[in-house]
Amino acid sequence: MKHLEGRNETIITEFILLDFGDLQELQIIFFVGFLAIYFMTIAGNLLIIVLVVTDHHLHTPMYFFLGNLSSLEICYSSTIVPRMLASFVTEEHHVSVNGCIMQSWAFGFLLASECCLLAAMSYDRCLAVCRPLHYTALMNSKVCLQLMTGSMFGGFVIDMILLIFMMQLRFCGYNKIDHFFCEFIPLANVACSDAHEVKLLLVILTSIWTLPLFSLTVVSYGCIITAILRIPSTVGRQKAFSTCSSHLIVVTIFYGTIIIVYILQGSKNMKELNKVFSVFYTILTPLINPLIYSLRNKEVKEALKRTISKCAVCLTLK
């Protein structure tokens, strides 16, 4: 949007999120579909958290990270999906300016933290596979806590820098955001002050934060695959490849869509597909992650059986 400096524009107090307004006939289908996805996301991630906390067999670095990832996924989905679901039912698309900016901040903080956490998880798996004899010493509880704290702190700092610049923007006159949540780019597009610096900063911060983490993840899985190739058993190799390929596919979709949306934001074709790509990393990834990382895992299945057995015994005693 062009710089409107010098014009007397009414300062707006709320935005109108258009969601998927150009597909009115599909609103009910969207509501049912996204509600089902949200319910499964919360249930799957809560189940993982409960199992990791209650089952001592899962008190290992891998499941420490998985439990924290599930916590992030719940918060991540809950900053976006409930409001969107409510708008489908009530057809109320208004959100205050401060509320919109806070949603952008929460979303950005959780997104940046998850990027770092996924890289930490891939590093953890790389050490477990490639340095099994030194794994316990290299990935102790102190290191796990430092990696988790570093992920959260790094996400907070990156997001605060962007938020400070976003707060300098003025919003007046036009208040319709063509998106289903208050994402940084669509929010900057409706500013009546010049948002060029904010968009440039967004590309720089995304590049600095995302590309190295994605590269670390790819390199880690490359080392894991190389180690797997040395496994003499064909069955063992196939099982390990199946797990690693699933993890790598999810991570690639997550990082890939973020890179496309934020780093390639200047392309007209990308603008048209912005909502589609955003659905992948905001709604679908939190659903897929627990399925790929945990619920397919043999140890998690055994922990689930033990928990169900304990619950059954408790109910019997009552």
Question: In which element (H, E) is residue 137 found?
Answer: helix 135-138
For residues 74-91, give the mean pLDDT.
Answer: 88
Q: Is the pLDDT of residue 6 over 60?
A: no
What is the reported pLDDT for 68?
Answer: 92
Give the three-state DSSP class for 149: helix
Give mean pLDDT, residues 52-72: 90
Fold of 14-309: Rhopdopsin 7-helix transmembrane proteins (1.20.1070)
Q: Pick the more confident residue, 246 or 302.
A: 302
Rounded distance between C-alpha atoms, residue 113 and residue 110, angstroms: 5
Most confident of 11-20, 31-40, 225-234: 31-40
Contact (CB, 8 A) for 258 and 111: yes
- pLDDT (0 to 100) of residue 227: 83
Q: What is the mean pLDDT of residues 142-149?
A: 93
What is the rounded average pLDDT of the residues 89-95? 83
> What distance in Å separates the CA atoms of residue 113 and residue 258, rounded to the nearest whole number?
13
- 8 Å CB contact between 288 and 37: no
Going from N- to C-terminal start, the domains of the chain cover 14-309
On average, the pLDDT of the chain sits at 83
CA distance 310 to 318: 13
